[in-house]
Structure 1
Amino acid sequence: MSELFDQKLAEPSPSHSEQQRRAERRERAQRRRQRRKRTAIAVVLSLLLIAGLAVAAFFVLRPLLTDRPAPEATDFPGPGSGSVEVVIEPGTSGTEMGEMLTEAGVVASPGAFSTAFTANPAASGIQPGTYVLLEEMAAADAVAALLDPANKSEVTITVPEGWRATQVYERIAAVTQLPLADVEAAAADPAAIGLPAEAGGNPEGWFAAATYSFQPSVDATTILRTMVEQTVSTLDALAVPAAERQAVLTKASIVEHEVFLAEDYGRVARVIENRLADTEQVNGRLQMDSTVLYGVGKSGGIPTRSDLDDDNPYNTYLHPGLPPTPIGAPGAAAVEAVIAPPPGDWLYFVTVDLDSGETLFTGDYAEHQANRAALNRWLEEHPSSDEG
């Protein structure tokens, strides 16, 4: 115990300078605590001030928020009057339609149309096209009008199976009111209408049999190019090589003109293949009435003796092989039949009843002669049917 007491007595006392440094540290620490306290008080006062301003603003603005209704998009009462033509392009959104119709004077505001568009579940089905609408319509009525096909202003052109190019030109001119000369001039520019090189510059057979819809302002070149594109698309879908397209269309056009009943497409296509390959009985001659009639400018009936004697490239009684071009626009069924005809040894066929379309096929010439006799008897009983 005395040793410990003696040891503490022996330890030196802190110097005056050390005591002064300790005092300065205590003062600095105290000043920091005071600054933090002042900062905290300032923050609290600021928050209280902001909260007070927010409460005051609420009470000032509350009457405006509760007493005034939200503004509504301007709308016409309808039903409207006059007329205006608008074009809805592919991919046009409802918002874009509203802006377009507002600019055209059909609806009062884009907002009104947008509201009506959203409210109509069928609105997403509005199709591209040209529409004739009233001016100053109620927005909901404008949406309904765009959904009604009766309001579409379109040029519709139908090309039936078997039609020749000249018939297509006349139909286009009649429907569009374009001069026939303009249509023919467009057809005379193979590059402009997208005619493939294998057509040899002649568009016969390349105007696909189908129904087309165009904008009222369409030109002849666009119409013809669309028809050619449809033919190319069909051939591509059936994997017809480019080098074989012209031959396929030519065969199919003959099938189209020779067949009465759909069930005979394949058999007529097989007759064509067999005749082209035959070197003994028909020597590669198709002997098709349809090509003979095309060559002399006739569109139907039975060839006369004069027609059969006319020496032109389409007279397949005189010339072996295929004619130089198709003889009309084949339908898809005829093209498919040519691509994959059924097996058979048929070289001859004749339609023995021009009313019912009954057609007899055979590979035997004597039997074919008997079938022709049956046709002659039918013609004697129906004398007006052989006029071409």
Structure 2
Amino acid sequence: MKIRYSLLVAVLLSATVLGWAWLRYHRFADAPLAGIHEGESLVVARGDNLFKVLDKLQAQGIAPGDRLLWQLLAKDTDAAGKIQTGEYALTPQTSPRSLLLAMRNGKVVRRMFTIVEGWTMRDLRAALRKVPLLEQKIAEVDDAALMEALGQKGQPAEGRFLPETYAWTRGESDLDILWRAYAAMDRELDAAWADREDNLPLKNRTEALILASIIEKETGVADERPQIAGVFLRRLRMGMRLQTDPTVIYGMGSRYAGNLRRADLEADTPFNTYTRAGLPPTPIAMPGKAALRAAVHPAPGDALYFVAVGDGSGRHVFSATLGGHNTAVRDYVQRQRAQRDAARTGAAPQ
């Protein structure tokens, strides 16, 4: 009887200890880690193992707890030896289990960078320089060296990066984003050119890109893009000069102070479409998908001129004759004058 009693006591003790250990393990696995503040993250570098990760947590003021339990949990979650590099979000609710699963599955923090339609290369570079935590590789290289780094030696950089939102992760660089944006533009341009209308006065897809960049800078009104494309393509077909202000402004570079003068329109540069026939030598901005489509699918019609309405809508008046265009220009000038007068007097413009 004494032996049976002793065995029973031993079994009960073992069960109690195992139960306590099981409870402790599961409380550890699913309890929030102490010391995490909202907005924190953990960066796992190449070669970091579980113990290095725990050291990093501790260095950030986060109490990781028992390392043996971490090892057991890593085996239980199949995370042992499978921790992926990257940045991982930490919240006050993050538990050892959720963190190990995130690191096993590579659920890294994905940040976003947007290239805006109509940006120039100068705008794009300036925006990339301002992105926190993004490694800077292109700041000290010119556009020619940048394109060579992308495997496109001799190709102009302007217009070659598709306006879109791109995801990036900690440890990536501005060059990584530009590589994705270049590849995206290459695909979109190939698709647009393959789907172009017949008999366009464009020699190749580069000319389509150049025209699309001009369309992008001329209007932000979606339904006007094909109309503006039609005007420019008719002019190209007839041998008329494009006479578009955005190309002149681009050619002026830093000399442009916000206002075009007659002398600027008469000063010859490779981008002055008032003094030179045909398209400028390179794009003048980053065109979006809609502008690319418009360049190869112009709206039908006979308009050869357009001018802004001037009412703040961003829309234009299209004319088939110079006389009609001159009338539209006079209306625009009168509307602008009325708005300036109203601003001075405080009255509503008529």
Same-fold call, TM > 0.5? yes
Gap regions ≥5 residues in structure 1: 1-58, 90-98, 119-126
Q: Please state how far the C-alpha of 1:128 moved relative to its aligned partner.
A: 9.3
1:206 maps to which residue?
A: 160
Counterparts of 2:313 and 2:297, CA distance in 1: 26
Give the superposition deviation at 1:368.
Answer: 0.9
Distance 1:141 1:166, change over 3 A: same
Q: CA deviation at 1:101?
A: 5.8
- Contact 2:193 2:208 (C-alpha < 8 Å) held by counterparts: no
Aligned to 2:207: 247
Query: Deviations 1:53-86 (Å, cap 9, x if unpaired)?
Result: xxxxxx9xx969x947487457354332266624
Selected match of 2:189 from 235, 238, 261: 235
> TM-score scaled to structure 2, two decimals?
0.70
Task: Quote the Cα distance in structure 1 between the aligned partners of 2:290 and 2:224.
Answer: 11
Could you tell me which of 324, 331, 336 is aligned with 1:374? 331
TM-score (norm 1): 0.64
Hey, what's the Cα distance between the residues in 2 that align with 1:145 and 1:188?
40
Report the Cα distance in structure 1 between the residues aligned to 2:276 and 2:150, rounded to whole angstroms: 31
Determine if contact 2:86/2:171 at 8 Å carries over to the other structure.
no
Q: Which residue of 2 is the match for residue 35 of structure 1? A: none
> Cα distance, 1:112 vs. partner?
3.3
Distance 2:164 2:131 in 1: 15
* Alignment-derived partner of residue 338 in structure 1: 295
Cα distance, 1:226 vs structure 2: 2.1
Given residue 231 of structure 2, which amino acid in structure 1 is its aligned partner? V
Find the counterpart in structure 1 of residue 245 from structure 2. 289
Moved more, 331-340 or 176-185: 176-185
Cα distance in 2 between the residues matched to 1:373 and 1:255:
24
1:382–1:308 CA distance, 2 compared to 1 (3 A): farther
Asked whether the equivalents of residues 77 and 101 of structure 2 are also in contact (C-alpha less than 8 Å), the reply is no
Instruction: Name the one with the larger helix percent.
Output: 1
Q: Which residue of 1 aligns with 2:170?
A: 216
One-letter amino acid of the structure 2 residue matched with residue 295 of structure 1: G
Change (3 A) 1:209 1:184: farther
Deviation track 1:94-114 (CA, whole Å, cap 9, x = no partner) reads xxxxx9667512674365367
Distance 2:41 2:299 in 1: 56
Partner of 2:218: 258
Q: Which residue matches 2:90?
A: 133
Indicate which of 160, 165, 177 corresponds to 2:116: 160
Q: Which residue of 2 aligns with 1:122?
A: none
**Counterpart-to-counterpart distance in 1, 2:329 and 2:138:** 45
CA contact (8 A) 1:102 1:110 kept: no
Q: Distance in 2 between matches of 1:162 and 1:145?
A: 38
Equivalence for 2:268: 311
1:34-49 superposed matches below 5 A: none
Query: Which residue of structure 2 lines up, in the alignment, with residue 268 of structure 1?
Result: 228
**For the Cα contact (< 8 Å) 1:314–1:323, is it kept in 2?**
yes
Task: Write the distance in 1 (CA, Å) between the matches of 2:181 and 2:90.
Answer: 30
Taking the aligned partners of 1:186 and 1:63, their CA distance within structure 2 comes to: 76
Per-residue deviation at 1:267? 0.4
Q: Which moved more, 1:232-241 or 1:364-373?
A: 232-241
What corresponds to 1:185 in structure 2?
141
Alpha-carbon displacement from aligned partner over 1:322-361 (angstroms, at most 9, x marks no partner): 0011110001110011121121122111112251123111
User: What's the Cα RMSD here?
Assistant: 4.1
70-79 or 255-264: bigger deviation? 70-79
Distance 1:344 1:205, change over 3 A: same
Q: CA deviation at 1:367?
A: 0.7
In the alignment, is the contact (CA less than 8 A) between 1:172 and 1:183 conserved in 2? no
Q: Against the structure 1 CA distance between its residues 288 and 128, is the aligned structure 2 distance closer, same or farther, given a 3 Å change threshold? A: farther
SS in 1 for 2:130: helix
| Count of equivalent residues | 296
Cα distance change of structure 1 residues 179 and 376 upon mapping to structure 2, 3 Å threshold: farther
Taking structure 1 as reference, are residues 113 and 276 closer, same or farther at Cα in structure 2, changes over 3 Å only? same
Distance in 1, matches of 2:291 and 2:112, equals 24
Partner of 2:322: 365
Q: Which amino acid aligns with 1:161?
A: E
Deviates more, 1:132-141 or 1:251-260: 132-141
1:109 aligns with 2:75: no
Q: Where in structure 2 are there 5+ consecutive unaligned residues? A: 1-6, 58-63, 196-202, 342-350
CA distance in 1, matches of 2:331, 2:45: 59
